[in-house]
Structure 1
Amino acid sequence: MAEADTGARAPTRALDRRVLWFVPLCWSLFQLWIASPLPYELGVLVVNNAQARSIHLAFAVFLAFSAFPTTTRGPRHAIPVRDWAMALLGAFCAGYLFLFWDGLAARSGAPTSADIGFACLGVVLLLEAARRSLGFPLMAVAAVFLSYVFFGSWEGLPDMIRWRGASVERAMSHFWLTSEGVFGVALGVSSGFVFLFVLFGALLNQAGAGNYFLSLAFAALGHLSGGPAKAAVIASAATGLISGSSIANVVTTGTFTIPLMKKVGFSAAKAGAIEVSSSINGVLTPPVMGAVAFLMTEYVGIPYIEVVRAAIVPAAISYVALLYIVHLEARKMGMTGTLRTGALRFILAAVLSVCGGIVAGGGILWATGMIVDLLRASLGEMALPVLVALFLAAYVAALRHAAQRPDLEMSVSGMEHLPPAREILQTGLHFLLPILLLMYLLMIERKSPGFSAFWSAAFMLLVLFTQRPLKLWFRNQGGIAEAACAGWTEMLEGLIAGARNMIGLACAMAVAGIIVGSVTLTGIGQVMAEFVEYLSGGNLMLMLVFVALISIVLGMGLPTTANYIVVSSLMAGVVVELGAQNGLIVPLVAVHMFVFYFGIMADVTPPVGLASFAAAAISRGDPLKTGFQAFFYSIRTALLPFLFIFNTDLLLIDVSWAHALAIFIVAMIAMLVFAAGTMGWFVTRSRLWESAALVLVALTLFRPGFWLDRFAPEWTAEPPVAIFGLASNAPADASLRVGLEGDTIGGRHVSSIFLLPLGPAGDDGAARLSQAAGLDLMARDGQVVVDMIAFGGPAEKLGIDFDWRVTHVDMENERLPKELFYLPAFLLLGLVAAIQRRRL
């Protein structure tokens, strides 16, 4: 854990120890300071976003050189002079924007030789800092992109990817002195709120919440067949709230779950694979998603609540399916628990637990919002102090309740002799309050992520400082002063742990900025689209498969956030562009979810499945076997992105609550049937044709429109001149699917389908297109061409240009509901179940 996240160096010299204690503490305090209202209230140490990013990276680079040795054989008990020099020089280069802010602003666009020199040095030291804290893969990817920036004009490169190249001055200015490269959106998100979420998780873990969630999962499921494996799934879901890293999830929960899984009969490879699959799902689960949820709001441009709504159904059904896979694995191995549970009963219990948890959480948040609104209406300005007092009173009451029971101890052997789940639940109710506060601020009050994480982390500092002395006071025991000192120490250790957990992540975000800057500087994103189009031969499914494979390769060895930044920057536009060329218009959030899912699969997939390697280190199994087994268990996760590209209902986009519930139920059944088909076990062991039939049933339930499209196409192409009549007759706030082709200013020919908004009803078609879409069309020489594009309008943002011509207009066909194909699917499912029951 230390080698991966916080740095393996543990110096013995007093000065070195103090530096690695004091600097991370200062970093955490700085991040809390700039997130608080105090700088603006007091007018002290006010920094803008760009300056904050510079200071943030300076801390990260300094700690990367001081906390991480140069190599695995490097000195760990002292910081060498060379590392001191590189740490100080790296921090100076990273802080260059802050230190020389006024001078850089005065000579914007005309950097001096010193500016370029320190930018070059900063890039090199940043790459080395990333190598130390994260390993070779991310540095190698960034180095490839940098090479392309400087040597893209080399004649040995294929014509498809060749470009004119950039000078050192232009490139370094772009990467280091503007907001287009290292100090761009990614590092801004890291500085603005990712640090605070990592700190919040570290403080929760320091307080004992990780042990609480793990113990609760084991107490609830440990008595079932394959109980430790099922507990690993639930524990990783809970730990995902804290860590947001698949590798950290594996190390945190796997230390306890993997040995217990081996003890009840799972092989080393399967025990590690179950933990890996569970941990991957923890990263894909809202509300944090490894901080990717907040990055997605910036890159996609939608509210945070929309990201959570899009991610919740895939994550929920994937978790239930993994529980079912574990159950089937236990059945195949003949495992029994102290309480035998049939497959159907277990499935119902799992589904009800997941649904109940979602409904209960949503209900608590809704009820809390109603109470807050009532108090605001009745108390006015006095509502805030009353609410704070009530919240603190709830915390004290929860601690008093917890003090009536013994504290939980954390050990592998202790997991086998836990008290009932109800008793464990009551020992840590106070751990749920900061999570409730975070979710309430994010989802009910709709506050910014930084604001929400700041107040949640501030409350966690209070919890760490007070929980020990208050418990002793409620138990009428002595030693309260000593407990307060211990709480103060734990609070400081939590602040230090949070900062050290951020070293690699901050470096990764900065290096990801180099990759993003290379994309914007060179236009390599368009080259990637042409490359994938060439490989797929224009076939839509092959195109998605190649994008998935490239996303896995790009994500190898990268932490979650850097992984998402890289794959979304390079591959999201590819899916949007090539999908539109094939008549598939996909919402941007679905595209980003697609590439994110496959980027995260790199943590599973050999040969660079870091989560699989971490699990194998604990299980003492073969890393490659563990990786392949984990990939087999994660097939259901790999299936989901393809499904919500073709059926965006799974992401709850533009659906009612009743429709959302129906989608959830059908998708859950489909995923469970798919798991049974791939595991070769349904009611009993399946024959080959039965497994194939189950997979066919699952795919039909997931995408019934596939079969309907074979009989009745969804769209009919109308002639271009029909666009004005169709736009005029369309209802209010509708959209029109229009095929357009033409050449861009850069000379590239485009032929694609665009979704144009129409706005309010009432005007003629040409006026609606002009006002709502920013697109003026005119009939000329028997064609309909683009006459004018409104600056900043939807048409310009979609990439439409002057003099493009309309090729066709899509009109939706009237056809039978696609849900009719559920009937034959369920009949086939019933037939397989009946045949298997006869073999029991």
Structure 2
Amino acid sequence: MFGKKKREAGPKEVLESDQELAAGADGAPVDIDADEVMRKYDKESNTRIWEGIPKVVVTTLLVAFSVYCMAMTLLSTEQAEARLARFLAFVIVIGFIMYPVRKKGHRVNHIPWYDIVLMLAGFGSFMYFALNCTDILLMGARIEPLQVVLGIVGIVVLVELCRRCVGLPIIIVCGCLVIYAFYWQLTSGNTMDVYASLRKVVQKLFYTTSGVIGTPINVCYTYIVLFVIFGAFLERTGISNFFISFANRIAGWSSGGAAKVAVIASGLCGMVSGSSVGNTVTTGSVTIPMMKKTGYKPEFAGAVEAASSSGGQIMPPIMGAAAFLMAEYMGIPYLEVATKAIIPAILYFAGIFIAVHLEAKKLGLKGVPKDELPKWWELARDCYLVIPLVLLVWLVASGARTMAASAAISIGCAFIIGFINFVLSNWRNREEGEGLAAVLKESASVALFAAVDAFAAGAKSVISVAVACAMAGMIAGCITVTGLASTIINVIVLMAGDMIIVGLVFTMVCCLILGMGVPTTANYCIMASTCAPILMQLGVDPICAHFFVFYFGIAADITPPVALAAYAASAIAKSRPMATAVNATKLGIAKFVVPYIFVFSPTLLLVGDNLSLVVVVLNTLTALIGVFGLQCALTNTLFGYHLSPIIRIAFAVGGLCMMVPGTATDIGGLVIIVGLCALQIGISRRHAPKEADAAALPLDAEDAKAQQ
């Protein structure tokens, strides 16, 4: 796919993306089971296997769920509590149909009796609330024993489903907070009434918008569902292949071009998919084998893909649907969120780009010959594939439609573009004598199948996000109801004192813990509800606070010990998982430093009263130079030569000085980095072999063969 002009993909190849993406650059199959990797490292993909008639039934159910969610989001005016409770009831049904009790050992077309019991119990609990919503809300804290039991059952079933499709970290945090909420309720009253305390906790967490059906699940129901479905449709138009070809044309010719292609393509694809692990596996099936073939070590190749894929969620304008959520949480226009995200995203991907370039120079890697790259006219011919994406951004930015309506219109546009793509692909690959009518008929059939597949895939993706959002609602509810939020904030403020950096570090640690293994969109909902208020209490600008927690929540995907994106990449690269995660963390160092920069220098987020183009450009340039210094220190190379320990430390110091706001630190950092670069140039020239000496050096086998 990288080195040679590939045949135009027909509709079957477009739909069978796993097999296509698993092909290497020369067309040879790569020994990668993408589905197995996804099941191992991405809980969302660890689903039951359905075949034959059961598969048709389950697919029909998934499609119906997606259509129901779209219709209710666009048309329903029903009471919010009833809509959200019913939504979670259906989520539980789909969830237990799709997710087994453990990763291995489940049989094809089989669901055990206990899963059916759990499914019906959870469905009945939430549906009871939906049908009796008004009466239960009027009862308040005086709910009856039946409602208490149903609330407990609903919460327990939801927790079990979360364990299956999201993971344990968020359950552990939520469980500790629920126990604390019960203890607080028990000890805050005049009497030690266990039942009364339990009833109040259940009522708050299950029957009010301060718990399971709180803000996160409302945001999921209102926005995330539609954007997840849109992403599924967009992926099936063939846009991923277009992004890879585009990245190949842009950077494939340069030194170590395969890694640079991975950075660009993974960033663009991750922006749409919204899943670090999913994007790592799909694009990584192409880019990682190509990087290894170019000469990169397996641990480095896997790290490049993991770091780039996790960066897709910070890439505007879509940001894995997080941009729309941030606009809702922060109360600012979507276009403003996308604009503010540009400079931090540039700094992050520039850091990875610099690192792969330095590594390529150290290894002496070359790029792909320009005559073997995709042609510009081919890319121009296929640029219509981005129309749904452009349409979505324009509709939301212009305010011509609501976000829900904009997503629905864009879904329809994605279907039409997909149909056009199938028609053109079939026409270019038609058999001799095959007419336009036959091509249109086959394309319509494939387009309908793709639409069904997209609706089903969207429904499956919604389950894990919805469950994580429900758990996030319980976390936020426990913190708010018990007053723990104020306590935590006061403790952090007290410990930080006048040193805001201390509060930032504590918040960073909280984000990394809470973000382990959680889907991106749900991840942000959790951070916005729990961690952002801490920073705002410390005096951080609300926009900077939200971006800070968003960055560090996503950083959990490449940060050991639960670096799921890095572990998935290591499975494809056949590398050591922990070494891959450590390399990914070093490559993505900007994600750990940039948030601190825009807290202390909000101009990078275009925040402030006295913004000017000169100030923004200067701050961006100094930050870029700082990222360069840090990457030189971390990659241990410059101009193709290793750095001594003292020079590495000096580069790190200079880089950090450039990233810390202030004229004095900028000048000091610039002097250090420029001086070190000049020193390294002198070292490289002194050690470079002279032309006469180079001619006398022994030839390797390949050079000798070439001369013969």
SS at match of 2:341: helix
The one-letter amino acid of 1:621's match is S
Distance 1:418 1:433, change over 3 A: farther
SS at match of 2:310: helix
Within a 5 Å distance, the mapping from 1:256-295 to structure 2 comes to 256-295=286-325
Residues 255-290 of structure 1: per-residue CA shift (max 9 Å, x gap): 111111122222221111111111121112222323
Q: CA deviation at 1:154?
A: 8.9
Of residues 639, 643, 651 in structure 2, which corresponds to 1:694? 651
In the alignment, does 2:137 pair up with 1:137? Answer: no
In the alignment, is the contact (CA less than 8 A) between 1:220 and 1:421 conserved in 2?
no
1:679 and 1:703 map into 2 onto residues whose CA distance is: 21
2:199 and 2:497 map into 1 onto residues whose CA distance is: 39
In the alignment, is the contact (CA less than 8 A) between 2:655 and 2:673 conserved in 1?
no
Q: CA deviation at 1:244?
A: 0.9
For residue 75 of structure 1, what is the aligned residue in structure 2?
A: 106
1:205 and 1:297 map into 2 onto residues whose CA distance is: 24
1:508 and 1:609 map into 2 onto residues whose CA distance is: 18
In the alignment, does 2:654 pair up with 1:660? Answer: no
Q: CA deviation at 1:465?
A: 4.0
The structure in which a higher percent of residues are strand is 1
Residues 483-540 of structure 1: per-residue CA shift (max 9 Å, x gap): 2122111111111111111111111111111111111111222232344456657643
Of residues 564, 578, 599 in structure 2, which corresponds to 1:610? 564
Q: CA deviation at 1:636?
A: 2.0
Q: CA deviation at 1:459?
A: 1.3
Q: CA deviation at 1:321?
A: 1.8
The one-letter amino acid of 2:49's match is A
SS at match of 2:394: helix
Q: CA deviation at 1:28?
A: 1.1
1:326 and 1:572 map into 2 onto residues whose CA distance is: 33
For residue 678 of structure 1, what is the aligned residue in structure 2?
A: 634
Q: CA deviation at 1:610?
A: 1.2
Within a 5 Å distance, the mapping from 1:163-202 to structure 2 comes to 167-202=197-232
For residue 534 of structure 2, what is the aligned residue in structure 1?
A: 574
In the alignment, does 2:94 pair up with 1:63? Answer: yes
Distance 1:632 1:826, change over 3 A: closer
SS at match of 2:561: coil
In the alignment, does 2:83 pair up with 1:52? Answer: yes
Distance 1:599 1:46, change over 3 A: closer
1:339 and 1:545 map into 2 onto residues whose CA distance is: 46
SS at match of 1:225: coil
In the alignment, does 2:71 pair up with 1:33? Answer: yes
Within a 5 Å distance, the mapping from 1:441-590 to structure 2 comes to 441-445=395-399, 447-469=401-423, 472=426, 477=436, 478-533=438-493, 539-577=499-537, 579=538, 585-590=539-544
For residue 237 of structure 1, what is the aligned residue in structure 2?
A: 267
Structure with bigger gyration radius: 1
Gaps of 5+ in 2: 1-34, 188-193, 686-708
Residues 81-101 of structure 1: per-residue CA shift (max 9 Å, x gap): 332232233223233343223
Q: CA deviation at 1:238?
A: 0.9
Within a 5 Å distance, the mapping from 1:423-442 to structure 2 comes to 423-442=377-396
Which deviates further from its counterpart, 242-251 or 458-467? 458-467
Distance 1:13 1:827, change over 3 A: closer
2:477 and 2:243 map into 1 onto residues whose CA distance is: 40
Distance 1:325 1:511, change over 3 A: same
The one-letter amino acid of 1:311's match is A
The structure in which a higher percent of residues are helix is 2
2:179 and 2:277 map into 1 onto residues whose CA distance is: 30
Distance 1:338 1:253, change over 3 A: closer
Q: CA deviation at 1:152?
A: 4.3
In the alignment, is the contact (CA less than 8 A) between 2:238 and 2:418 conserved in 1?
no
Of residues 182, 185, 188 in structure 2, which corresponds to 1:150? 182
Distance 1:145 1:19, change over 3 A: farther
For residue 118 of structure 2, what is the aligned residue in structure 1?
A: 86
For residue 20 of structure 1, what is the aligned residue in structure 2?
A: 58
Percent of residue pairs identical: 31
Within a 5 Å distance, the mapping from 1:580-659 to structure 2 comes to 585-654=539-608, 655-659=611-615
The one-letter amino acid of 1:837's match is I
Distance 1:107 1:536, change over 3 A: closer
Residues 1-42 of structure 1: per-residue CA shift (max 9 Å, x gap): 56332442112463x323321111011111222344xx4xxx
For residue 392 of structure 1, what is the aligned residue in structure 2?
A: none
Residues 456-496 of structure 1: per-residue CA shift (max 9 Å, x gap): 11211233345424665698543422321221111111111
1:46 and 1:529 map into 2 onto residues whose CA distance is: 37
Q: CA deviation at 1:548?
A: 1.6
In the alignment, is the contact (CA less than 8 A) between 2:181 and 2:478 conserved in 1?
yes
**Count of residues paired in the alignment:** 630
The one-letter amino acid of 1:490's match is A
For residue 764 of structure 1, what is the aligned residue in structure 2?
A: none
Name which structure has the greater RCO, CA cutoff 8 Å, separation 6+.
2
Q: CA deviation at 1:65?
A: 0.5
The one-letter amino acid of 2:655's match is A
The one-letter amino acid of 1:79's match is I
SS at match of 1:302: coil
1:76 and 1:169 map into 2 onto residues whose CA distance is: 40
SS at match of 2:271: coil
Distance 1:82 1:424, change over 3 A: farther
Residues 203-234 of structure 1: per-residue CA shift (max 9 Å, x gap): 11122112221233234323322222111111
Q: CA deviation at 1:429?
A: 1.6
In the alignment, is the contact (CA less than 8 A) between 1:133 and 1:504 conserved in 2?
yes
Q: CA deviation at 1:421?
A: 4.3
Distance 1:170 1:241, change over 3 A: same
1:570 and 1:84 map into 2 onto residues whose CA distance is: 34
Within a 5 Å distance, the mapping from 1:75-474 to structure 2 comes to 75-77=106-108, 78-152=110-184, 167-338=197-368, 419-445=373-399, 447-469=401-423, 472=426
2:549 and 2:123 map into 1 onto residues whose CA distance is: 33
Q: CA deviation at 1:658?
A: 4.6
1:150 and 1:640 map into 2 onto residues whose CA distance is: 39
Distance 1:447 1:228, change over 3 A: same
The one-letter amino acid of 1:695's match is A
Distance 1:821 1:522, change over 3 A: closer
Of residues 49, 54, 60 in structure 2, which corresponds to 1:10? 49
1:325 and 1:666 map into 2 onto residues whose CA distance is: 17
2:105 and 2:483 map into 1 onto residues whose CA distance is: 40
SS at match of 2:525: helix
Q: CA deviation at 1:541?
A: 2.5
Q: CA deviation at 1:168?
A: 1.6
Of residues 703, 708, 715 in structure 1, which corresponds to 2:660? 703
Distance 1:154 1:96, change over 3 A: closer
Gaps of 5+ in 1: 40-44, 156-163, 341-416, 580-584, 706-817
SS at match of 2:87: helix
1:653 and 1:448 map into 2 onto residues whose CA distance is: 26
Q: CA deviation at 1:824?
A: 4.9
In the alignment, is the contact (CA less than 8 A) between 1:61 and 1:91 conserved in 2?
yes
